[in-house]
């Protein structure tokens, strides 16, 4: 097969696949969300199953737009045992000190 013919055949294969896949996606959109998702997810690969999936902070995993604002990370993480002002009503305002902490 000549190179031009081969290239044309491969391009045709790609475009027919593209059209077929688009038609399947369009058809799936007309079905129930559960049916449509099942078919699509079978081809999606492995689902990323992070450590945080079972905890509320999973909702922030990866996007982290709330990190640093106190809403995303659970209190047992990051500052655990290290909060010099913990329980003193907010270190940012009154500078309170744990008794003997800085002795």
Partner 1 sequence: MSAGTMSLEQVQRAMAAAVMQPLTEDEQMRSTAADGRSMAAIAESLIAPNSRLSSFERLEIYNRQYWFRVLGALAEDFSALRAVVGARAFEAISVAYLTEHPSRSFTLRNLGSKLPEWLAQHPQMAGRRHRLAVDIARVEWAFVEAFDGAEHDPLTAEQIATLDGGSRLALQPHLRLLALEYPADEVVRGLHAGEKRQASEAGIASEEIEEAPAALPGIRRRPAWVAAHRVEHAVYYKRLRREEFVTLRCLSEGKPLADAIAAGFAESRLNEVQTARCLRAWFANWAELGWLCAPELELLMEGM
Binding positions for partner 1, rule: CB under 8 A: 1, 6-7, 9-11, 13-26, 28, 37, 39-41, 43-55, 61-65, 67-68, 73, 76-80, 82-85, 91, 94-97, 102
Task: Give the span between the Cα atoms of 16 and 11, in whole angstroms.
Answer: 8
Cβ 31 to partner 1, closest distance in Å?
13
Residue pointed to by tokens 């290290």: 82
Task: Give the span between the Cα atoms of 44 and 21, in whole angstroms.
Answer: 13
Residues 6+ apart with CB under 8 A from 84: 91, 97, 98, 101, 102
Cβ 79 to partner 1, closest distance in Å?
5
- Comparison of 35 and 67: residue with beta carbon closer to partner 1: 67
Cβ 30 to partner 1, closest distance in Å?
14
């Amino acid at each position: 097969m000549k190179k031009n013919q081969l290239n044309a055949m491969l391009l045709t294969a790609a475009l027919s696949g593209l059209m077929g896949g688009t038609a399947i996606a369009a058809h799936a959109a007309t079905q129930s969300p559960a049916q449509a998702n099942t078919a699509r997810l079978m081809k999606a690969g492995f689902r990323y199953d992070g450590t945080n999936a079972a905890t509320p902070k999973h909702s922030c995993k990866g996007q982290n737009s709330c990190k640093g604002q106190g809403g995303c990370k659970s209190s047992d993480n990051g500052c655990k045992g290290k909060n010099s002002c913990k329980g003193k009503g907010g270190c940012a305002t009154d500078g309170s000190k744990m008794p003997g902490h800085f002795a």
